[in-house]
Structure 1
Amino acid sequence: MQLEKSKKRISKKVKMGFQGYPTLGISYSGPSADLATEVALEFVLEEGVEPLTEKFSTESDIREDETVQSAIVKTIERSGARSVTLHEGVKCNSAN
């Protein structure tokens, strides 16, 4: 699947808002606000249940990695997620 097509499909699902459970949360993190090298997917089957987390990481910007973005789309489809949230921005993992 092409990168732009994957991004568009994820964005469309996010724009739909809360449609019920199960939900899938997507959050990016990295060494700076400009570079995301990790993505965490949090799947919640129903309200009050602990999320299941899956992480992917790369050396380059993961938001521009076609394979990872396609994997996110496949995860949305296969999990049956009715709602998808995308946490805006990149959480910095800088070591203190």
Structure 2
Amino acid sequence: MNIDKAKKRIAKHVKKGHKGYPIISMAYFGESADCATEVVIQFTLHEGGEVMEERFAGKTDVREDEVIQTTLLKVIERANANTVTEIEGVSILS
């Protein structure tokens, strides 16, 4: 899938807002605010439920990695998530 298409579809899920469970949360991490080298995606099936987590890492910016963005989209769609949240920006790894 095209990187732009994957990013637009992820953004569309995020824009829907809170619609209940299951919830998927995404956060980007990197050495600087300009380059995210890791993304963490968390899945919660129901309130108070166990949080499952998956990490994807790359040598370049994962926000521009077609394989990783497509994979994130597939995780969202296969989980049938009602709510998708994304932490703005890049958190600095220490």
TM-score, normalization: structure 2? Answer: 0.98
Q: How many residues align?
A: 94
Who is 2:57 aligned against?
57
Distance 1:50 1:25 in 2: 13
Who is 2:29 aligned against?
29
Cα shift at 1:64: 0.1
Q: CA RMSD for the aligned pairs?
A: 0.6
Who is 2:20 aligned against?
20
3-state SS of paired residue (1:52): strand
- Structure 1 ranges of 4+ moved more than 4 A: none
Q: Which runs of 5+ in 1 are unaligned?
A: none
Who is 1:2 aligned against?
2
Who is 2:68 aligned against?
68
Check if 1:87 corresponds to 2:90. Answer: no
Cα shift at 1:92: 0.2
Q: Which runs of 5+ in 2 are unaligned?
A: none
Distance 1:5 1:65 in 2: 12
